[in-house]
């Protein structure tokens, strides 16, 4: 496994060792001991989510407030997405900054998104299936959403002619400067 810190060092790209031959491929998508050894992080995943979306679907920017905040390990099972993590920790040197990465079934990269980050993605392929492990359970009363197109965040979603398709919840997310954030 190869781990790379992004421009916000708490957000990591994880690239598994892939074994390919004429039959296809095999890789270990997660190994607790290896992850702990390489990252010095000790997650305990309690929930795994799986979504399927069509081209242009934008999900996010989602997070849960402290006491129910979640670390997430995200990967694409089929298709391609542009994945974004926004630092919403008020005392962080990268507060309000974001990182974005292309995740796909072909590059097999995963992104580690720690607590204190809002998360979202847009589907760039015809369809995409995304799986993400979480370290706490979904708790709707703690869930919050920030608008994907917040002018203060100024996220470059690499839309390339895509008109994002949003849920009602995501369409009515908070502006960043009015959102409940992490202290």
pLDDT digit of tens for each residue in the chain (183 aa)? 888 999 999 999 999 888 989 998 898 888 888 888 888 889 999 999 999 999 999 999 999 999 999 999 999 999 999 999 999 999 999 999 999 999 999 999 999 999 999 999 999 999 999 999 999 999 999 999 999 999 999 999 999 899 999 999 999 999 999 999 988
What is the structure's pLDDT at 28?
A: 84
Note whether residue 126 is domain-resident.
Answer: yes
Domains of the chain: total: 1
Question: Does residue 61 lie in a domain region?
Answer: yes
* Residues with active-site annotation: 62, 132
CATH of the domain at 102: 2.60.120.10
Partner residues linked to 110 by β-bridges:
14, 75
pLDDT given for residue 163 in this prediction: 94
Closest CA to 12 of 134, 118, 106, 113: 113
Residue 9 is assigned to a structural domain of this protein: no
pLDDT of residue 183: 80
* Distance between start and end Cα atoms, the chain: 33
The pLDDT value recorded for residue 16 is: 86
What integer pLDDT is reported at residue 1 of this predicted model? Answer: 83
CB-based contact 111:12 (threshold 8 Å): yes
Q: How far is the C-alpha of 108 from the C-alpha of 105, rounded, in Å?
A: 5
Range of the domain at 131: 46-178
Q: Could you tell me if residue 161 is inside a domain?
A: yes
pLDDT of residue 31: 84
Report yes or no on 101 lying in a domain.
yes
Whether 97 maps to a domain, the answer reads yes
Q: Is residue 33 part of a domain?
A: no
- Sequence-ordered list of residues with C-beta below 8 angstroms from that of 5, at least 6 positions apart, any chain: 11, 12
Asked if the structure places residue 174 within a domain, the reply is yes
DSSP letter string, 45-58:
--EEEEEEEETTBE
Between strands 110-113 and 72-78, the pairing is antiparallel
Q: How many CB atoms lie within 10 A of CB 162?
A: 16
């Amino acid at each position: 496994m190869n781990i790379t810190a992004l421009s916000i060092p708490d957000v990591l790209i994880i690239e598994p060792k892939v074994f390919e031959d004429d039959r296809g491929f095999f890789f270990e998508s997660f190994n607790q001991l290896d992850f702990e050894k390489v990252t010095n992080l000790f997650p305990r995943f309690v929930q795994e989510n799986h979504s399927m979306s069509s081209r242009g679907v934008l999900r996010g920017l989602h997070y849960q407030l402290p006491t129910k905040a979640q670390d997430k390990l995200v990967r694409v099972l089929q298709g391609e997405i542009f994945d974004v993590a926004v630092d919403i920790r008020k005392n962080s040197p990268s507060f309000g900054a974001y990182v974005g990465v292309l995740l796909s079934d072909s590059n097999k990269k995963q992104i580690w998104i720690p607590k204190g980050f809002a998360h979202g993605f847009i589907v760039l392929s015809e369809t995409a299936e995304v799986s993400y492990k979480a370290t706490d359970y979904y708790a709707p009363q703690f869930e919050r959403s920030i608008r994907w197109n917040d002018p203060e965040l100024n996220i470059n979603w690499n839309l390339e002619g895509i008109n994002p398709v949003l849920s009602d919840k995501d369409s009515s997310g908070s502006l960043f400067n009015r959102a409940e954030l992490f202290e």
